[in-house]
Amino acid sequence: MNAPTEPTFTLERQREVVAALRNLLPADCILFNEEDTRPYECDGLAAYRRLPMVVVLPQNEAQVVAIVQTCRALAVPIVPRGAGTGLSGGAMPIADGVVLSLVKLNRIVALDPVARTAIVQPGVRNLAISDAAAKHGLYYAPDPSSQIACTIGGNVAENSGGVHCLKYGLTVHNVLRVRAVTIDGDIIELGNGALDASGLDLLAVFIGSEGMLGIVTEVTVKLIPKPHTARVIMASFDDVVRCGDAVANVIAAGVIPAGLEMMDKTSTRMVEPFVKAGYDIDAAAILLCESDGTREEVEEDIARMSAVLTACGATAITVSQNEEERMKFWSGRKNAFPAAGRISPDYYCMDGTIPRKNLAQVLLGIAQMEIKYGLRCANVFHAGDGNLHPLILFDANQADEFHRAELFGEEILALCVEVGGTITGEHGVGIEKIGSMCVQFSALEIAAFIAVKRAFDPAFLLNPDKAIPTLQRCAEYGKMRVSGGQMKFADLPRF
């Protein structure tokens, strides 16, 4: 799996494209030698990689326009890329394509503390926005776990969330305006400085479109006041189902926690030796339940939530007494992925979302799949919004283990869809889950998505092989995966 990939383009085509790009960009903004392009062969999902033909790093919007126009004229597909932290292979290069990195567009253009907005270029890091806003008592709410590295352009592409999105929303709820370059080289403004815009809500459909509708060149984000204080409850349960029920009861009590995260025993035992967060490793599951706001508000919420958790059979409850302790409680959750990397040579992170009431059924299903595929799985769960991250542990150097991990993952996603959920809550479809799209959507719905793409990108050159499968691909996938004796695309011609 980790062997270097071979070039999948011809040198003649590479020479042609590089020659055209040299008219537009300084030489150091065009990479095509293998040692320079190798770092761009994958994003955060390293299992899927391809050597790019050319990588371009424009310094401004005018260069982006020129690159797009040239690529369109030469029919070269473009893969936009931010920091490359994505977990679904959305930035994996395309054979014969150009990778367009936006990291040099990294300026905070304006920050208005009174209007509580920041205008930023796409290569600005998520956390850099909050850092810049901090002196005004403001911050940018979505906090994906990669926030130290990931860029706002990538967040727009993926509609990124984080551990606080039950209360504060996703990228789509926190972005007011996107400026983008279309495949025709037009500059479009979706949204504006106000709360809505004239016409159809194109901003909503653009956010989360995985770089397939346009190249982002500027984003206006909302900044919100930093809460005065925050405290987190850590509660232990001797039964996973009881823990799930406790989550439902907290919500039923009328509280929207700022964060509500669940970890199963495999996860707590995985992270505790690594971060020493003080987790109860004998509990079947633990719940982290946070309140933020004014001091008075937080006291009221914590008391209410503690009462609910106790009534639901929590075997132990600890409330953070200071900021240091709060960060300690969170450190285990936030380090779950690296911890998986410590106890297992490789891991594969899934991202399904389910109606919370079906949690027990899904966890039971995953436990059975562990036996079926002979692989372990640790479950961390954004319990407030039903977003489950099973971490499938495997060793790529063992024959067949990656293949089994992939099948395991696909089966988890199929189960998520079966119980009324979705194949991806926040990581995106990318290249990784493109087959699973055929499980979730009908041929007509996929055709509609393709048409939406064509409405923005008639040339079909912007990240064209990601997120939305071709109907042919679904037909091929259908051959392998038969659900309940029914082939999902039975009426499609086979190729």
Residues between 386 and 405 that touch another protein (CB under 8 A): 386-387
Is 485 a binding residue for another protein by CB under 8 A? The answer is no
> Which range touches another protein (CB under 8 A), out of 16-24, 76-84, 306-314, 347-355?
347-355
Instruction: Scan residues 205-244 and list those touching another protein (CB under 8 A).
Output: 205, 207-209, 213, 225-228
Q: How many residues bind another protein (CB under 8 A)?
A: 99
> Which range touches another protein (CB under 8 A), out of 33-41, 48-56, 120-128, 203-211?
203-211
In the numeric block, which tokens belong to residue 31? Answer: 């990479």
Amino acid 490 reads A
Is 444 a binding residue for another protein by CB under 8 A? The answer is yes
Residue 165 to residues 175, 244, 281, 293, 335: CA-CA distances in angstroms? 14, 19, 27, 15, 18
Is 134 a binding residue for another protein by CB under 8 A? The answer is no
Is 427 a binding residue for another protein by CB under 8 A? The answer is yes
Is 309 a binding residue for another protein by CB under 8 A? The answer is no
Residues 6+ apart with CB under 8 A from 448: none
String of b and e for 459-494 (b: at least 16 CB within 10 Å)?
A: bebbbbbbbbbebebbbbbbeebeeeeeebbeeeee
Phi and psi, residue 143, nearest 5° = -130, 70
Is 26 a binding residue for another protein by CB under 8 A? The answer is no
Instruction: Scan residues 162-181 and list those touching another protein (CB under 8 A).
Output: 165-166, 169-170, 172-173
Phi and psi, residue 125, nearest 5° = -70, 145
| Among 146, 268, 424, 463, interactor with another protein by CB under 8 A | 424
Is 198 a binding residue for another protein by CB under 8 A? The answer is yes
Instruction: Scan residues 265-304 and list those touching another protein (CB under 8 A).
Output: 293-294, 296-297, 299-301
Q: What are the DSSP calls for 355-398, one per residue?
A: -GGGHHHHHHHHHHHHHHHT-EEEEEEETTTTEEEEEEEE-TTS
Distance CA 158, CA 452 (A): 17
Is 190 a binding residue for another protein by CB under 8 A? The answer is yes
Nearer to another protein, 39 or 113 (CB): 113
Distance CA 97, CA 108 (A): 29
> Which range touches another protein (CB under 8 A), out of 51-59, 268-276, 379-387, 479-487?
379-387
Nearer to another protein, 52 or 144 (CB): 144
> Which range touches another protein (CB under 8 A), out of 19-27, 120-128, 398-406, 448-456?
448-456
| Among 60, 310, 397, 442, interactor with another protein by CB under 8 A | 442
* Whether the Cβ atoms of residue 265 and residue 284 lie closer than 8 Å to each other: yes
Residues 6+ apart with CB under 8 A from 68: 78, 181, 182, 183, 185, 215
| Among 251, 317, 367, 492, interactor with another protein by CB under 8 A | 251
